[in-house]
């Protein structure tokens, strides 16, 4: 610190304080493992993108060629012009399975945890993240279509490692299926009244409106590669479980979204 | 294989420092871990040409630029319409108090101020090096650092005993 700042009265132990700030972090058993996995996924994605670009170019070439041929043929009397076949729906691959991206809100951000056996959920994708006093939390959808898990990364313990699936037992007019998890944080001077609400709605939904404790909350209905039938949501509300009175998925136009087909 | 082994060893050696930097920037454990992992992943694709150079500096630059560019993107996660509850802290845990107070003070700085202050005073980097990491001029680093420190000084966490007494007399503390 040789600049003029050192002549001012600086907090002498700022470096030490910053060290304390960054001190309390969960240390992964082997930080290289999840990074190695990310690298592999990125390599797969790069190859997939390259293949998709090649396929798209080939498709475009075929379409142009067929339309040129068609226009030549249509110029001949009595020869019908073949209709151009629709462009096949783009299907991407991720890791070892295929999926069709839904319109936004969309998340294909892979979720990782710091535990050595954490990859049992893979491929998992973040749905939502947030924080409560002293903790952060994250919810991810995982490979089994229609399932959510509170990830065990970071210090988030208030919601445990809860996981639940929402792909069955839908009633004909049921718009949302969800699970509530009260926060449990030991050794606090006053109890928390926070509840996580996580669940699934139809792919037509774009947002989810939650009424709890007389307040209204809104969060995105996130599509992930795990499901083309469902979108997922997760939110922590400042209310007890019993105070959650409504969970309503809404379409892009603000209308109630239909039940998943 | 040798290259992969070297890279994995580099990750293990630099993980803690990188995760600390990422946390100082994001002030969120999960975002920090994500940022650090993402930075190492990006580094891998330049590893061969950096291996004999200065990968640490390049890694810092990736972390800082990913963080600063990420701030401009919209996060699709939690978006409650109501104010979050007050922070609840066990009064006996003084270290947690201090950590939370510092975290709040750092959160009030702009992203570039936070990065400049941390790199200068926690990592003890020169202004020129910080400028290279942040992709700005040395003058800009001086300005970010000065303003960041002014903001931190104004925070009660860093007040001197005399100032604390003064604040107490005025009923502020």
Cβ distance of B23 and A21 shorter than 8 Å? yes
Alpha helices, DSSP H, located in chain B:
2-26, 29-44, 47-50, 55-70, 94-107, 111-121, 127-134, 138-154, 161-169
- For the ranges A80-84, A178-182, A203-207, A251-255, which has the lowest average pLDDT? A80-84
pLDDT exceeds 60 at position A114: no
Pair A109, A235 in one domain: yes
Question: Are A126 and A189 members of one domain?
Answer: yes
Average pLDDT, chain B: 78
Task: Enter the CATH code of domain B94-169.
Answer: 1.10.10.10
Does residue A211 carry a pLDDT above 70?
yes
Largest Cα–Cα separation, chain B: 66
> pLDDT for B122-140, tens place per residue?
888 999 999 999 999 999 9
- Mutate which of B14, B75, B78 to test chain A, going by most A C-beta atoms within 10 A? B78
A222 vs A126: CA distance, rounded Å: 9
Residues 20-39 of B with CB under 8 A from A: 20-21, 23-24, 28-34, 36-38
The tokens of A218 are what? Answer: 């809104």
- Going by pLDDT thresholds of 50, 70 and 90, the confidence category of residue A55 is confident
| pLDDT tens per residue, range B20-44 | 999 999 988 888 888 999 999 999 9
For range A23-37, the mean pLDDT: 80
DSSP annotation of B37 reads H
Q: Which helix (H) or strand (E) holds B12?
A: helix B2-26
pLDDT in tens, A60-108: 877 777 666 655 544 444 333 333 444 334 333 344 556 778 888 988 8
Give the mean pLDDT of A254-258.
93
Task: Let me know how long chain A is.
Answer: 261
Q: Which residue of A has its CA nearest to B146?
A: A5
* Residues contacting A76, CB < 8 A, separation 6+: none
Alpha carbon distance A221, B74 (integer Å): 15
Helices (H) and strands (E) in chain A, counts: 2, 13
Q: Where are the domains of chain B?
A: 2-70, 94-169
What's the domain range around A47? 32-90
A240 and A112, same structural domain? yes
Q: What is the CATH number of domain B2-70?
A: 1.10.1740
Confidence of residue B72 (pLDDT cuts 50, 70, 90): low
Predicted local confidence at residue A70, as pLDDT: 55
Same domain, A113 and A86: no
* Residue with more model confidence, A113 or B67: B67
Q: Is residue A113 part of a domain?
A: yes
Interface test with A, best of B12, B13, B73, B80 (most A CBs within 10 A): B80
A119 and A153 fall within a common domain: yes
Quickly tell me which residue has 């449990």 as its tokens. Answer: A184
**What phi and psi, each to the nearest 5 degrees, are found at residue A243?**
-90, 0
Same domain flag for A114 and A205: yes
- For residue A127, give the 3-state DSSP assignment: strand
In a domain, A153, yes or no: yes
Determine the pLDDT at residue B114. Answer: 92
Residues of A in contact with B23 (CB under 8 A): 21-22, 25
B16 contacts in chain A (CB < 8 Å):
27
Closest CA of chain B from A232, distance in Å: 11
Same domain, A121 and A224: yes
Mean pLDDT of all residues belonging to chain A: 76
pLDDT tens readout for residues A119-176: 455 577 888 988 887 778 888 887 666 787 777 555 557 787 777 888 888 888 899 9
A chain contacts of residue B149, beta-carbon cutoff 8 Å = 5, 8, 10
pLDDT at residue B43, as a whole number: 92
Number of independent structural domains in chain A: 2
* Domain match, A55 and A131 both: no
pLDDT in tens, B92-126: 455 566 777 788 888 889 999 999 999 998 888 99
Rounded distance between C-alpha atoms, residue A163 and residue A173, angstroms: 25
In chain A, alpha helices (H): 14-21, 32-74
Q: Quick check: do B2-70 and B94-169 share a fold?
A: no
Closest in A11, A22, A35 to B40, CB measured: A35
Same domain, A113 and A240: yes
Does residue A19 lie in a domain region?
no
How large is the ipTM? Answer: 0.71
Residue A256 included in any domain: no
Q: Residue B142's pLDDT is what?
A: 94
Which residues of chain B from 66 to 125 reach within 8 Å of chain A, CB to CB? 76-82, 84-91, 95-96, 98-99, 102-103, 106, 117-118, 120-122, 124
**pLDDT > 70? residue A13:** yes
Say whether both A139 and A244 belong to one domain: yes
Which residue from B28, B77, B120 is facing A128, i.e. has the nearest CB?
B77
Identify all chain A residues contacting B102, using CB atoms and an 8 Å cutoff: 17-18, 20-21
pLDDT band at B173 (very low <50, low <70, confident <90, very high): very low
Whether B19 contacts B35, CB under 8 Å: no
d(CA A134, CA A205): 32
| Residue B23 DSSP code | H
Q: Measured on CA atoms in the order A46, A49, A53, A58, is the torsion positive or negative?
A: positive
| C-beta atoms of A22 and B23 within 8 A | yes
Among A32, A134, A135, which residue's Cα sits nearest to residue B19?
Answer: A32
Model confidence pLDDT, tens digit, residues B44-58? 988 888 877 888 999
Q: Averaged over A227-241, what is the pLDDT?
A: 89
The CB density around residue B59, as the number of other CB atoms within 10 Å, is 24
Helix axes B127-134, B138-154, angle to 10 degrees: 100
> Is B82–A17 a contact, with Cβ atoms under 8 angstroms apart?
no
């Amino acid at each position: 610190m040789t600049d003029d700042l050192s002549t001012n009265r600086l907090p002498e132990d700022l470096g030490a304080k910053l060290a304390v700030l960054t001190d309390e972090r969960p240390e992964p058993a082997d930080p290289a493992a999840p990074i190695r996995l990310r690298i592999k996924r990125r390599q797969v994605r790069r190859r997939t993108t390259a293949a998709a670009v090649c396929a798209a170019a080939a498709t475009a070439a075929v379409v142009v060629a067929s339309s040129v041929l068609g226009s030549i043929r249509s110029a001949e009397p009595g020869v019908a012009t073949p209709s151009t076949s629709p462009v096949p729906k783009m299907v991407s691959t991720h890791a070892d399975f295929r999926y069709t991206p839904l319109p936004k809100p969309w998340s294909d951000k892979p979720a990782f945890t710091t535990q050595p056996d954490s990859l049992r959920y893979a491929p998992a994708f973040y749905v939502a993240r947030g924080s409560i006093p002293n903790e952060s939390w994250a919810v991810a959808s995982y490979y089994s279509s229609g399932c959510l898990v509170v990830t065990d990364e970071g210090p988030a313990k208030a919601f445990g490692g809860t996981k639940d699936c929402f792909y069955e037992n839908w009633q004909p007019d049921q718009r949302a299926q969800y699970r509530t998890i009260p926060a449990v944080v030991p050794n606090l001077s006053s109890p928390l009244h926070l509840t996580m609400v996580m669940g699934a709605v139809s792919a037509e939904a774009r947002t989810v409106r939650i009424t709890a404790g007389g307040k209204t909350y809104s969060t995105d209905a996130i599509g992930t590669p795990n499901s083309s039938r469902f979108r997922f949501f997760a939110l922590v509300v400042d209310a007890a479980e019993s105070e959650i009175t409504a969970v309503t998925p809404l379409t892009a136009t603000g209308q109630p979204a239909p039940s998943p087909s | 294989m040798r290259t992969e082994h070297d890279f994995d060893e580099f990750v293990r050696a630099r993980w803690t420092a990188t995760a600390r930097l990422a946390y100082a920037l994001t002030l969120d454990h999960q975002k920090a871990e994500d940022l650090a992992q993402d930075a190492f992943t990006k580094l891998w694709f330049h590893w061969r040409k950096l291996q004999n150079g200065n990968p640490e500096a390049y890694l810092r630059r990736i972390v800082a630029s990913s963080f600063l560019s990420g701030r401009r993107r919209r996060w699709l996660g939690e978006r409650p319409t109501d104010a979050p509850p007050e922070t609840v802290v066990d009064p006996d845990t003084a270290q947690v108090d201090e950590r939370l107070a510092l975290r709040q003070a750092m959160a009030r700085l702009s992203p570039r101020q936070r990065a400049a202050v941390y790199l200068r005073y926690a990592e003890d980097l020169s202004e020129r090096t910080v400028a290279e990491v942040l992709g700005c001029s040395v003058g800009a680093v001086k300005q970010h650092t000065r303003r960041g420190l002014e903001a931190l000084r104004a925070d009660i966490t860093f007040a001197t005993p005399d100032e604390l007494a003064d604040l107490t007399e005025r009923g502020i503390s």
